[in-house]
């Protein structure tokens, strides 16, 4: 079999990391599949790459639906950011649970042989809301031009077509956004189409409309709107946007803040110099009884109620709440701030300076004085901390999808901390890092350092209708 050939009547077996699916070809080779597949469905696939060990393929058509498939709810729309809308939620939870369990398979034998007690694998914690749960939604303007599909549409507003930075799918309803966010989106869609200004073209760098972001404070229902525009804030643009601000704020009184971002760079990201057009500089979200300011570029968990479940579970895992706490890869320091009342001192370590500044503001806002925010790489700070203080009683790690930097782990082990809480958004890199922490994989430098045992594992679904899972 070679590129562009068709594999017919292939059964989708299971999810693997990255939102891809696994199947087996007639010749025995594994198939890694992109597209909105559902386990148990029978499909035809087009081969994208043929390798000695496996194929990479894309779903071409569905021959027979999976027993897991459920009808798309009335008014809902399928798009890249919510590819699991037609999988029942209980089945989603089962798929994610199995993915986390499978990531532990290659260290399972080691755990059984080396640990005196086996870890408790707790049931997955479901999201309190499965629709409208996102407190931040990012829409994009653009085009959809395809000679092959005979489409030439210069004005689209919605989401990127999967894997295609230069093509936008018009959105009619975002199932992961709340009702008011959807209503505001449709209003902005109308206003932008009527404006006469063109959408941005990433190939030429020409055009006006780029991105639109809605941020929501779940408890207060305050809304922040962010317009990312390929333009400076000139007098002409100011007059135009003042009219938009007036129309939106009169119709939607929960709008507390509107920003204009001068986004004239080439990268397809929401960035640029922020100009406050209306209202407050920040909206205020609540999480487990504490208040957090949300500004245009602030990091905050996108599922507020789900984050409360996640952090409550993480806090419950800590058995000895006293002494020094290290919060590594801390972001805006949310976990450290929530844990500050249990510890003598918390060090919140984050490389991105703006995130550390946001953390400092939020600590002050909540009257918390025992958290020190450190803007360093986690691996560099770990070495420095070890030299100066020599110990940390508890460590919380919440790294990006790539997991911990290899040089961080030996320093962590040198602290001889009582316990480590690892919050992961990638089961594969979690298992890789655990190999070192439990002593299965060690180099000479860390051979005599402590070997930890895994006591508890809990998957937490923060992102219903997507393949993402926290552990």
Write out the catalytic residue numbers. Answer: 425, 470
Distance of alpha carbon 425 from alpha carbon 397, whole angstroms: 11
Within 10 angstroms of residue 274's Cβ, the number of other Cβ atoms is 18
Distance of alpha carbon 260 from alpha carbon 159, whole angstroms: 20
* Alpha helix segments (H runs only) across 252-377: 304-317, 334-339, 353-365
- Residue 314 is given by DSSP the state H
- 330 pairs with which residues across the strands? none
Distance of alpha carbon 432 from alpha carbon 405, whole angstroms: 11
- Find the helix or strand (DSSP H, E) in which 381 lies: helix 378-388
Give the residue from 153, 142, 273 showing the smallest Cα distance to 199: 142
Name residues whose C-beta falls within 8 Å of residue 63's C-beta, 6 or more positions apart in sequence.
Answer: 8, 9, 41, 42, 43, 44
Identify whether the C-beta of residue 13 lies closer than 8 Å to the C-beta of residue 41.
no
Cα-based distances in Å from 260 to 142, 229, 277, 392: 18, 7, 7, 43
Buried b (16+ CB within 10 A) or exposed e, 47-61: beebeeeebbbebbe
Distance of alpha carbon 423 from alpha carbon 400, whole angstroms: 10
- 158 pairs with which residues across the strands? 140, 170
Sign of CA dihedral 358, 262, 273, 278: negative
């Amino acid at each position: 079999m070679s590129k562009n050939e068709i594999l017919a009547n292939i059964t989708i077996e299971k999810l693997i990391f990255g939102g891809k699916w696994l199947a087996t070809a007639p010749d025995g080779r594994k198939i890694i599949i992109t597209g909105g597949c559902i386990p148990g469905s029978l499909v035809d696939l087009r081969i994208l790459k043929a390798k000695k060990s496996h194929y990479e393929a894309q779903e071409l058509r569905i021959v027979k639906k999976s027993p897991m498939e459920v009808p798309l709810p009335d008014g809902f729309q399928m798009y890249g950011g919510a590819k699991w809308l037609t999988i029942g939620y209980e089945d989603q939870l089962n798929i994610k649970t199995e993915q986390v369990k499978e990531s532990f398979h290659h260290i399972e034998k080691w755990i059984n042989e080396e640990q005196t007690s086996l870890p408790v694998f707790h049931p997955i914690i479901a999201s309190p809301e499965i629709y409208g749960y996102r407190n931040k939604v990012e829409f994009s303007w653009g085009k959809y031009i395809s000679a092959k599909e005979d489409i030439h549409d210069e004005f689209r507003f919605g989401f990127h077509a999967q894997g295609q930075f230069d093509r936008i799918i018009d959105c009619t309803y975002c199932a992961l956004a709340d009702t008011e966010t959807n209503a505001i989106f449709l209003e902005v869609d109308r206003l932008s189409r009527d404006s006469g200004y063109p959408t941005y073209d990433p190939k030429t760098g020409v055009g006006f409309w780029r991105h639109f972001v809605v941020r929501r404070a779940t408890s207060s229902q305050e809304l922040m709107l962010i317009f990312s525009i390929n333009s400076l804030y000139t007098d002409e643009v100011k007059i135009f946007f003042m009219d938009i601000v007036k129309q939106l704020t009169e119709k939607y009184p929960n709008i507390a803040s509107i920003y204009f971002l001068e986004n004239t760079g080439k990268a397809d990201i929401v960035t640029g110099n922020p100009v406050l057009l209306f209202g407050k500089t920040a909206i205020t979200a609540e999480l487990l009884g504490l208040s957090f300011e949300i500004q245009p570029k602030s990091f905050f968990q996108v599922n507020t109620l789900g984050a409360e479940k996640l952090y409550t579970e993480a806090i419950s895992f800590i058995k000895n709440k006293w002494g020094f706490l290290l919060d590594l890869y801390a972001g805006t320091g949310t976990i450290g701030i929530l844990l500050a009342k249990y510890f003598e001192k918390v060090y919140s370590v984050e490389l991105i300076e703006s995130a550390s500044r946001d953390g400092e503001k939020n600590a002050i806002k909540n009257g918390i004085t025992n958290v020190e925010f450190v803007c360093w790489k986690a691996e560099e700070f770990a070495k420095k901390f070890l030299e100066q203080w020599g110990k940390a009683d508890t460590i919380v790690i919440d790294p990006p999808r790539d997991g911990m930097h290899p040089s961080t782990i030996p320093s962590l082990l040198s602290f001889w901390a009582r316990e480590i809480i690892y919050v992961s958004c990638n089961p594969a890199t979690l298992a890789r890092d655990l190999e070192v922490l439990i002593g299965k994989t060690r180099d000479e430098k860390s051979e005599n350092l402590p070997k930890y045992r895994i006591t508890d594992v809990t998957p937490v679904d923060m992102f219903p209708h997507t393949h993402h899972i926290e552990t």
